[in-house]
Structure 1
Amino acid sequence: MRFENKVAIVTGAGQGIGFEIARQLACEGAHVLLNDLDADLTAAASARIQGQAAGTCWPLAGDAGDLAFIHALVADATARFGRLDVVVANAGITLFGDFLTYPPASFFKVLQLNLGGTFFLAQAAANQMKQQAHGGALLFTSSVTGHQAHKQLAAYGMSKAALEMLAKSLVIELSAHGITVNTVAPGATLTERTQDDPAYEATWQKLTPMGRPATVADIAQAALFLVSDHARHITGQSIVVDGGWTSTSPGPT
């Protein structure tokens, strides 16, 4: 019960890694505000967690890249629970495309959510945490593509590398307020989306030194450590959870 009575926001949590982070937080006693863009998915995910949690889980659907909604998200959490302890900026979008023909619309869509959404959610959350005597923890979801190049992911990889620099930069401004800021960088992970590809698991079993892709639980367990009181002296860091892939970095054919 590391998170008993703590208040957390998790964006992009309707399924996959975000859902598992939200679920584990709630199961360890947190009051979680679960966000995703799809209202039905958000409501269903929250209901699933609420049925098994020691804490509570509340849905709030909306665009995590929209500034007005970001402020509404932080305001809702603090109005409902009176404080804000943990924010996991997990919402992101992956748009593949060849660099030479990559369209501006796709580029700015990736930047608006992956970078703008994270930056301004961190800003709004930090301003709330600054008013609290106990500080808080911010966590951004990066990616191994921010460490090693992947074909057709120039914009996405750039955005994920930038998140890790953002975390380092915020150490300068937020440490005095007792706020930690870190990133978790997943490698190949089995989610609802990746399992739509029948070759995904077999491909990444061969490419990953540990012999398998990550599960969402693998990523969530690292995430929970970084936002827990066990990591109060860890800030500005990125934890790569990839079964060793970035040490060898073979790409899929």
Structure 2
Amino acid sequence: MDFKNKVAIVTGAGQGIGFEICRLLVANGATVLLNDQDGRLAEEAATKINADNGKACIPFPGDASEISFINKMVDAAVDLYGHLDIVIANAGITLFGDFATYSPEAFFKVLHVNLGGSFFLAQAASNKMKLQESGGTILFTSSVVGHQALKSLAAYAMTKAAIEMLAKNLVIELSPYKINVNTIAPGATLTERTTEEENYEQVWSEITPMGRPAYVSDIADTALFLVSDKAKHITGQSLIVDGGWTSVSTLPHGIK
């Protein structure tokens, strides 16, 4: 897949899945604005990527759930490069909690970041892409818990299911402008965060039909296909990457 002359924004990309998506985009020719709320992580991530690929990865730290920052980031991409081809709304938070005692503060924070950030990034980006003859591509990051219930994740799962419905609705809004919109739904994935959880890899290896959790490369390779020109006729879809877990839905035990 060739991303030469493509300009992309990826949010929540200081590490994990987002970082790997940025790395592969740049390695395949794209210029990428790499966003993370943690400025140090964003700078370090861009430096790592640029060590192998010149200076095509630009750190853009900030809160991707805040509308003023979203507009600033989208405007910067277009001002710097003249166009914006790919936007991946990957930033999100997971706040576990029992439904009976889940606080309003946690509830609205999850909605603000996961839903608000995705919605308004898509809005700002698509308003720029509409002005381009080539249109553009938007990809949301959902989760398998948007398809399969897991304890203590009611609010988070709700946002992920909503993101998938947002992608479907935007088919109506954006297809006339050559903008396709899809969602990727990762399952259990080995990242810097999850590998710190006790028994994570062992538990998910036992209950995943393919015998292991996903690597970040499994998710990033799928994301690259969905934002490539090879997938321009795919829109409104959600692609689950989980080693078959949602087909059997064996619940995890022993993760602390």
CA positional deviation for 1:51: 1.1
SS of 1:58's equivalent in the other structure is strand
User: TM-score, normalised to structure 2's length?
Assistant: 0.98
2:115 equivalent to 1:115: yes
2:30 equivalent to 1:30: yes
CA positional deviation for 1:187: 0.2
2 CA distance for matches of 1:51 and 1:27?
11
2 CA distance for matches of 1:163 and 1:174?
16
Aligned position for 1:211: 211
CA positional deviation for 1:252: 1.0
Aligned position for 1:125: 125
2:66 equivalent to 1:93: no
Counterpart amino acid of residue 167 in structure 1? A
Aligned position for 2:60: 60
CA positional deviation for 1:53: 2.2
Q: What percent of counterpart residues are identical? A: 64
Residue deviations 1:219-245 (CA, integer Å, cap 9, x gap): 001000000000010000000000000
2 CA distance for matches of 1:165 and 1:54?
38
Counting only pairs closer than 5 Å after superposition, residues 174-253 of structure 1 correspond to structure 2 as 174-253=174-253
Q: Which structure 1 residue ranges, 5 or more long, are not aligned?
A: none
Structure 1 contact 13–90 (Cα < 8 Å) conserved: yes
2 CA distance for matches of 1:27 and 1:198?
33
1 CA distance for matches of 2:38 and 2:97?
24
1 CA distance for matches of 2:38 and 2:56?
20
Greater shift, 182-191 or 195-204, is seen at 195-204
Give the aligned length. Answer: 253
Structure 1 contact 186–240 (Cα < 8 Å) conserved: yes
CA positional deviation for 1:5: 1.1
Q: Which structure 2 residue ranges, 5 or more long, are not aligned?
A: none
1 CA distance for matches of 2:244 and 2:176?
34
Residue deviations 1:29-88 (CA, integer Å, cap 9, x gap): 000000000001100001111111267100010000000000001011111111000000
Structure 1 contact 143–185 (Cα < 8 Å) conserved: yes
Structure 1 contact 29–55 (Cα < 8 Å) conserved: no
2 CA distance for matches of 1:13 and 1:81?
20
SS of 2:53's equivalent in the other structure is coil
1 CA distance for matches of 2:46 and 2:178?
29
User: TM-score, normalised to structure 1's length?
Assistant: 0.99
Aligned position for 2:165: 165
SS of 1:51's equivalent in the other structure is helix
1 CA distance for matches of 2:197 and 2:142?
22
Counterpart amino acid of residue 7 in structure 1? V
Aligned position for 1:76: 76
Aligned position for 2:48: 48
2 CA distance for matches of 1:77 and 1:59?
12
List structure 1 segments (4+ residues) > 3 angstroms apart after TM superposition.
none
SS of 1:145's equivalent in the other structure is helix
2 CA distance for matches of 1:198 and 1:52?
33
Instruction: Kindly report the root-mean-square deviation, in angstroms, between the aligned alpha carbons of the 2 structures.
Output: 0.8
Residue deviations 1:87-125 (CA, integer Å, cap 9, x gap): 000000000000000000000000001000000000000
Greater shift, 34-43 or 46-55, is seen at 46-55
